Amino acid sequence: MTLLCVIPEFCFTHKQCYINLGKWISYGNTDIFFGLCFNTLTAIMAGTVLTITHFVITYSADYMSEENRIESFIGLLSLFNFSMNIFVYSSTIFMAFLGWEAVGVTSYLLIKFWDTRITAIKLL
């Protein structure tokens, strides 16, 4: 089922919908798929994530408007947003794990962003 078919079906019928993006690993009787799931819980969580990240990106763009590397910082924030959406929409525990790990990596990169400033890396 494609994304264009899933969104209207979910909005009007409130049924749980899946999009299978393909098989990642097949070993014996075990198959691990990439896929997305749309239901009421994911709609609520996605709305929360998108609202908060919208405000964070808007505030950060205004706050850091004078910085040299603002493009890379906003890019990292966008990657964080994408990772959170993968985590929210995942249909398998494996996809949720990949999304969660991507959130962790982008969080580390955002924290490490100021590694060129002595005051930011100085231990007290």
Domain boundaries, the chain: 3-121
pLDDT per position in the chain (124 positions), as tens? 555 555 666 666 667 777 778 888 888 888 888 888 888 888 888 889 889 988 988 998 888 888 788 888 889 999 999 999 999 988 888 889 999 999 999 998 888 877 776 766 665 4
Q: What's the CA gap between 88 and 76, in Å, rounded?
A: 18
- At 59, which amino acid appears? Y
Entry pTM:
0.76
Per DSSP, helices labelled H in 64-92 are 70-89
Alpha helices for the chain (secondary structure H): 3-13, 40-63, 70-89, 93-111, 118-121
Neighbours of 61 (CB within 10 A): 13
